[in-house]
Amino acid sequence: MLAKRIIPCLDVKEGRVVKGVNFVGLKDAGDPVEIAEIYDKMKADELVFLDITASHEKRKIMIEVVRKTAEKCFMPLTVGGGISTIEDIRILLNSGADKVSINTPAVKDPGFIKKAASIFGSQCIVVAIDAKMRSAGLWNIFIDGGRTPVDKNAVLWAKEVESLGAGEILLTSMDADGTTDGYDIALTKAVSTAVRIPVIASGGAGNSEDIYRVFSEGLADAALAASIFHYRKLSVCEVKEYLRKKGVPVRM
Amino acid sequence: MKKIAILDYGMGNLRSVQKAFEHMGAYALLSSDKIEIESSDALVVPGVGSFDDCVINLKKDGLDKSLVEFIISGRPFFGICLGYQVLFEESEEGTQKGLGIFKGKVARFKNQEKIPHMGWNTLSLTDNGMKCPVFKGIKSGDFFYFVHSYYVVPGDAESAASWTEYGGCFASSVSVNNIFACQFHPEKSQAKGLSIIKNFIDMVER
């Protein structure tokens, strides 16, 4: 049976993990490669690196991080942030990323998704959607790292990216993100039932119950979390043990 | 040390496959050179992308012939993902003929599950699979990483080494004589995946 996936996410700026990760025995709290190795050993199901480097020139550092990670970690790796051309995708995949996550460039030019999927295959094209509630049951999307609102309905946009060839959706609730009060269940369910591609829920995880609910009620295929894992509030294993006891299929 | 060639035919990230083989102690090189392939002790054919692109790329430089000749020679062969699917006769994904090493076809998931089938799923080993040296130490219920929208329907069900359930059962690997091929990605399946690669290397070294 297909397991629900638990995916830690690392924000990386100029090759360094932002807001260092608090693991016992970690030599360098800011080294993404070392942290990735630890998550690999913990049996995280996948990893996401989100490059938040502002300057275009310094983005090359990320390629080196991906290359070093792929030498040591034999698990799926998704890289997002700052990807705007076919060449950007090619370099990251050749460096060892398995999937790339695209947000703003996909909204500005939906044809980019189609082109990328036709060249590299849908399986490696993840479209990231940042959504914010406008009224009950209605969410709009934002681009530019949540700074710019776009007059697009999140659920309709999800269906559109599916038809353009996206293989997966990384759905972040801007309302829930950073709160640790739980995922936006209604948003996740609305998107997950509207499309036939996998949906990764993101934003708001505070404890194992939140992750349980986003699977059981939100119908997510995977759950992404950052701070609860980084600050050792919970380990990947503890979350999986909780889910297993509640009857959610997970890989132990 | 024996030489393992990883067929480089322009399909997807072959580097991660090479890294996994190297990590497990093999001498593994990426190659699109027929002479190099011919002189290797084992051949690995990975592949990510579409079926037609895969066949077209293989045929472009006659690598399809090298692949078939290698298999006929009886040396160990390892196909992964598209490198598994292409061994069959045809695919619903495209119009190109497969290599036809095995009877059977590649079909698209038509169940109600999400597509691609993406993530960690379990194997149920068949009697054939339990005898397969590549599966040494692997048991039914172990998880491996999958990402695909099409699945293999082998003409000879007895060739299946494992079945996997995704809205129905499909052959997630086959094992016949010197050929082992699987739909999942051992190079992305952490310790269990690496142990399959190690088993294959051990088989080559013997």
For B127-180, the DSSP string reads: HHHHH-GGGTT--TT-EEEEEESEEEEESSGGGEEEEEESSSEEEEEEEETTEE
Q: Are A14 and A231 in contact (CB under 8 A)?
A: no
Does A54 have pLDDT greater than 80?
no
Residue A21: per-residue pLDDT: 66
Q: Measured between alpha carbons, how far is A117 from A140 in angstroms, rounded to an integer? A: 24
Are B48 and A251 within 8 A, CB to CB? no
Are B122 and A1 within 8 A, CB to CB? yes
The CATH number assigned to the domain holding B67 equals: 3.40.50.880
For the question of residue A11 being annotated catalytic, the response is: yes
Q: Measured between alpha carbons, how far is A33 from A21 in angstroms, rounded to an integer? A: 12
pLDDT band for position A249 (50/70/90)?
A: very high
Which residues in chain A touch residue B94, judged by CB atoms under 8 angstroms apart? none
Averaged pLDDT for residues A97-124: 95
How big is chain B by its Cα radius of gyration, in Å? 15
Residue B50: per-residue pLDDT: 86
Q: How many CB pairs under 8 A join A and B?
A: 92
Q: Are B139 and B132 in contact (CB under 8 A)?
A: no
Residue A26: per-residue pLDDT: 65
Q: For A176, phi and psi rounded to 5 degrees?
A: -90, -25
Strand partners, A54: none
User: A60: Cβ–Cβ under 8 A, 6 or more apart, which residues?
Assistant: none
Question: Coil, helix or strand for A88?
Answer: helix
Averaged pLDDT for residues A140-169: 96
Q: Choose between A55 and A12: higher pLDDT.
A: A12
Q: Given A31, A51, A88, A130, which residue is catalytic?
A: A130
ipTM of the complex: 0.94
Are B143 and A122 within 8 A, CB to CB? no
Helix ranges (H only) for A84-184 are 86-95, 104-108, 111-120, 154-164
pLDDT band for position A23 (50/70/90)?
A: low
Q: Measured between alpha carbons, how far is B2 from B4 in angstroms, rounded to an integer? A: 7
Select the residue of A5, A197, A251 nearest B115 (Cβ to Cβ).
A197
Task: Output the average pLDDT for chain A.
Answer: 93
Does A77 have pLDDT greater than 90?
yes
| Terminal C-alpha separation, chain B | 11
Give chain B's domain count: 1
Q: Range of B120's domain?
A: 3-205
Residue B47: per-residue pLDDT: 84
Residue A24: per-residue pLDDT: 64
pLDDT band for position A25 (50/70/90)?
A: low
Residue B5: per-residue pLDDT: 98
Residue A27: per-residue pLDDT: 67
Q: Measured between alpha carbons, how far is B96 from B75 in angstroms, rounded to an integer? A: 27
Are A74 and B113 within 8 A, CB to CB? no
Distance from CA of A30 to the nearest CA of B (A): 23
Residue A116: per-residue pLDDT: 95
Distance from CA of B72 to the nearest CA of A (A): 31
pTM score, two decimals?
A: 0.95
Averaged pLDDT for residues A136-141: 96
Spans of chain B below 70 pLDDT: none
Other C-beta atoms closer than 10 Å to the C-beta of B52 total: 13
Q: For A86, phi and psi rounded to 5 degrees?
A: -60, -40
* Interface list for chain B against chain A, based on CB atoms closer than 8 Å: 12-13, 15-16, 19-20, 23, 48-50, 113-122, 143, 145-149, 165-166, 187-190, 193-194
Q: Given B90, B148, B185, B205, which residue is catalytic?
A: B185
